[in-house]
Amino acid sequence: MELASVAAVAENRAIGRDGELPWDHIEADVRQYRARVAGHPVILGRRTFESMLDDLPGSERIVLSRSEREFDTSTAQHADGVEAAVALLEELGAEVGYVLGGAGVYRLFQPHLDRMYLSRVPGSYEADSFYPEFDESEWRLVETTPYEGVTLEEWIRADRE
């Protein structure tokens, strides 16, 4: 099973501010993101889950939370850490699980990722959430796809090719 993160990231690694994206909606990025994760299980923190309740139709959601353990949707399950989330992915028979954030969840899963899909948003933004730094020598950029307003980068961990 493969773990992959999906994130829109500004030049200063900004990913969020006050629970929202710090830039205007980029339709092309939303379309490619939804197409990628549709029907696949996703891992996300509680606040990200709450902000995306209607945004992931058909996807099983594994919600990392220290406090919340039950959710108002039948497609959400609780996990209290990486091992529990991966175990749930395996129970679901997933070939891939997508890590969708927020910042703490990205940080927690970074050492376990096999792949990253990073939508590079031009500019730097004021933010309170940032994508974690990673050592590019441990990763290989395998594809770059331009979209209107964003460039999608696909990275594969070098030791897992």
Coil, strand or helix: which one is 10? Answer: strand
CATH number at residue 49: 3.40.430.10
Q: Give the model's pLDDT for residue 51.
A: 80
Hey, what are 124's tokens? Answer: 């730097």
Q: Give the model's pLDDT for residue 50.
A: 80
Position of tokens 């990486």? 82
The domain total for the chain is 1
Q: Give the model's pLDDT for residue 54.
A: 66
> What tens digit of pLDDT does each residue of 49-81 get?
888 766 766 678 999 987 766 666 667 888 999
Q: Give the model's pLDDT for residue 57.
A: 62
Residues of the chain with pLDDT under 50: none
pTM score, whole prediction: 0.93
Coil, strand or helix: which one is 107? Answer: helix
Q: Give the model's pLDDT for residue 43.
A: 96
Q: What is the residue range of 103's domain?
A: 2-160
